[in-house]
Structure 1
Amino acid sequence: MRALRIRPAVLPPECEVLRQQVRAFLAEAMAEVPLSRRVRNWSAADPEFTRQVAARGWIGMTWPRRYGGHERSPLERYVVLEEMLAAGAPVGAHWVADRQSGPLLIRYSPAVLAPRIVPRIARGEAFFCIGMSEPDSGSDLASIRTKAVRTADGWLINGRKVWTSRAHQAHYMIALVRTGERGEGRHGGLSQLLVDMQTPGLTVRPILNPLAEHEFNEVVFDDVRVPADHLIGREGEGWQQVGAELALERSGPERYLSSTQLLLEMLDAADADDPRHAATLGRVVAHYAALRQMSLGVAGMLARGENPMIAAAAVKDQGALVEQAMPDLAHELFGGAVPPGSTLDEAMRYTTLAAPSFSLRGGTREILRGIIAKGLGLR
């Protein structure tokens, strides 16, 4: 068995200077934002807010300047993300593009797609969605059926994607498609294509979440034509590329900070003289502290150019456990004593309905633990 070591990262002084700048911005920009929006955290989207963030250089922070980036460190980016999440800022419009789509294009299409599109991401003008999950595949991406066939001038795509977050607001999708046979392994024959969401033949249908809100979508491809140069990386190497993309998707502090607004409301409502409140909430805060150190350690790995796949999967798995336990803890401590319509009541109601999705997005618990077990040599 191999050991999993996540070295704690120490934030340099410039990170704390940046933190104060972000807090000052959020104090003004979020002054009138009600809890009903804050509690949605990074699931909420506000294109105007995204443009304000971009104007301050906080999108594409680590990217090369030739792509519109700012060449700052992953630790500085971590500080911005942490503050945005803690404030419940509506960062959903640019979140996917900043976190994984931009880096993917820079790495695998540096001369063709990245120069065209990545600067628009950094300006807060281009939003992305992820085309991975399908009706019969779930988290088993190797079994996808959406197919892309070569044509004289590009690719012809047919198939379906489901649970595609914010596809109705995205300008582009990075779609994982089957372009060849599996071969001897299960992961062969997969490629990634950049798809303009306005392409004829592409239909986006809403899937309402448990809150009756339009966040997820079914995306249907019916003879959707994609230019030849929209192939990302090499044909047939989509599985390896998705692995790198998912490591980025699982590496951020959003994997344990989604329920922060509920925690803050519980701390405000807690009775300091009640030992049960002190013990329960103290334990949650201790879990947060441990997860923060783990998450910072992943940011440190990115800063050193290391692959954080196993560590990121561990943080995501443990973070989801803490987040999903939060509504139950709130009901145990405050159930029956919460004034209807209060901010605590509002946070409890929203998080109770949203929490089941926390162990699905970015990979199910079973998939994550399989990655961890394989990485540690246990399977």
Structure 2
Amino acid sequence: MTTGAGSPVAESPELHALRTEVRTFLNEQLAALTFVPAVDNWMSGFDPEFSARLGQQGWLGMTLPAAYGGHDRSPVERFVVTEELLAHGAPVAAHWIADRQMAPGILANGTEEQKQRYLPGIAAGTLFFAIGMSEPEAGSDLAAVRTRALPHDDGSWTLNGTKVWTTGAHLAHAMVLLARSDGDAGDRQTGLSQFLVDLSHPDIEVRPLRSIDGEAHFNEVIFHDARVGPEALLGRRGEGWTQVMRELAFERSGPERYLSTMPLLRAWAAELRRSGATEEQRITLGTLTAQAWALRRMSLSVAAELAGGRRPDVRAAMVKDLGSAFEGDLVEAVRAACATDPRRTGDDPFARMLADSMLHIPAFTLRGGTNEILRGIVARGMGLR
């Protein structure tokens, strides 16, 4: 039974050739011991050299115009590349946020100067971004923005406030910040603007937050009267909420929302091939694989909507809700069905992967918006609220 990222539906010869090319590259990298497959590597596997190699292959900035260092390829072609990277557990965290949503956001809303400054580096896999959305005491209420952007007569801005759970901010070069430029917190979605901020700014403080696995992937980012120029404003003043909602469709619908733990399923399938599988284990493996195929079909439909210039906000929220729940269910199902004790140390790579997977479960249904918030989006979109 295939548990890789092969297609459950017919692919064009061009897409099949691309998939084969990516798989060949990844197998060569594995043989050269360039990376060790790991779960959740799109968030925790920060490897700038690997990202640069992907950029050299033309597999970053794929949907960007060639004028900005991109490759004029389709969202579906990008989907093929990203799901192969995820299924193989490749270390793609360095470029992931920049390539996934900052590139299309800057392309859609940025000035020509901003596009020329940031997009070529994103496509090359050498310029990394963080997302400045979530705030302390706000939970998943994205509209509860208290970070302020104070305008000055010369067009510059002073930024004050705190962002939290900011993935990779301690390693990123820049951030797209959502701040309140007008009104007050009671205005909710109105009066918000986005800013492109270089994280090397002397008045921006980044404090890593250590999680249960002992790593520090998340951060608290504090703006202490950080003055930025007029060129920092991304898009139109006061249009930040609309811009963010468009970007979140890219964040919530991608294959990383159900493939974070696929390396574990593939590793378990390899274990069963070596040792033999019971009937119950075969049923579990088949059930998990079928669920992954169904989620993949949903995610592909969102990619098609994005390719058509539409806004599949509700579908994207559904993919994220169902996919992130599936990722945790997969780990629990494998743990219950296998005969391996999870251990973070020792010589058994499958036992280590299983242990790491279990420690990542709590984050799956939180990041990118909690599942409860996403279900509210779906309900409103379907006219149920």
TM-score surpassing 0.5? yes
Aligned counterpart for 2:349 among listed residues 335, 343, 347: 343
The residue aligned with 1:128 is 129
For 1:93, the equivalent position in structure 2 comes to 94
- Distance across 2 between alignment mates of 1:37 and 1:82: 14
1:40 deviates by: 3.9
Q: 2:30 is matched with which residue?
A: 30
Aligned to 2:15: 15
Give how far 1:273 is off. Answer: 4.9
- Where in structure 2 are the equivalents of 1:50-65 lying within 5 Å? 50-65=51-66
Partner of residue 80, structure 1: 81
Aligned match for 2:242, one of 233, 240, 264: 240
Separation in 2, partners of 1:33, 1:132: 36
Question: Does the 8 Å CA contact 2:253/2:299 hold for their aligned counterparts?
Answer: yes
Change in 2 beyond 3 A, CA 1:372/1:9: farther
Partner of 2:125, secondary structure, is coil
Q: For the residues of structure 2 that align with 1:35 and 1:111, how far apart are their CA atoms?
A: 37
Structure 1 position 344, deviation (Å): 2.0
Paired residue type of 1:73: S
The offset of 1:121, in angstroms, is 1.1
Partner of 1:319: 323
Q: Which amino acid aligns with 1:287?
A: Q
Give, in whole Å, the separation in 2 of the partners of 1:165 and 1:107: 23
Report the counterpart of residue 303 of structure 1 in structure 2: 307
Q: Could you tell which deviates more after superposition, 116-125 or 242-251?
A: 116-125
Query: Residue 253 of structure 2: SS of its match in structure 1?
Result: coil
Q: Distance in 2 between matches of 1:32 and 1:38?
A: 16
The equivalences for 1:1-12 within 5 A come to 11-12=11-12
Q: Which amino acid in 1 is paired with 2:68?
A: Y
Deviations 1:270-318 (A, max 9, x none): 3655221122221111101111111111112122222121111111111
Equivalent residue letter for 1:193: F
Per the alignment, residue 3 of structure 1 pairs with none
**Is the partner of 1:112 in helix, strand or coil?**
helix
**Deviation (angstroms), 1:63:** 0.8
| Code of the aligned partner of 1:31 | A
TM-score between both structures, scaled by the size of structure 2: 0.92
The aligned counterpart of 1:143 is: 144
Unaligned residue ranges in structure 1 (runs of 5+) = 1-7
Give the corresponding residue for 2:4: none
Query: C-alpha separation between the residues in 2 aligned to 1:228 and 1:256?
Result: 39
Task: Compare relative contact order (CA 8 Å, sep 6+) and give the higher one, 1 or 2.
Answer: 1
CA contact (8 A) 2:193 2:239 kept: yes
Residue type of the alignment partner of 2:372: E
Which residue matches 2:257? Answer: 255
Q: After the TM superposition, which parts of structure 1 deviate over 3 Å for at least 4 consecutive aligned residues?
A: 8-11, 32-37, 182-185, 270-273, 335-341
Number of residue pairs aligned between Structure 1 and Structure 2: 372
- Identical-pair percentage: 47
Q: Specify the alignment match of 1:4 in structure 2.
A: none
Call closer, same or farther: CA 1:33–1:377 in 2, change over 3 Å: farther
> In the alignment, what sits opposite 2:190?
188
How many angstroms does 1:268 deviate by?
2.4
**Would the alpha carbon gap of residues 121 and 260 (structure 1) be closer, same or farther in structure 2, given more than 3 Å must change?**
same
Alignment match, 2:289: 285
Q: Report if aligned partners of 2:35, 2:91 keep a CA contact under 8 Å in 1.
A: no
Query: Can you give the 5+ residue segments of structure 2 that lack an aligned partner in the other structure?
Result: 1-7
Does structure 2 conserve the Cα–Cα contact (< 8 Å) formed by 1:265 and 1:344? yes
> Could you tell me whether the CA contact under 8 Å between 1:11 and 1:75 is conserved in 2?
no
Distance 2:317 2:384 in 1: 15
Change (3 A) 1:124 1:336: closer
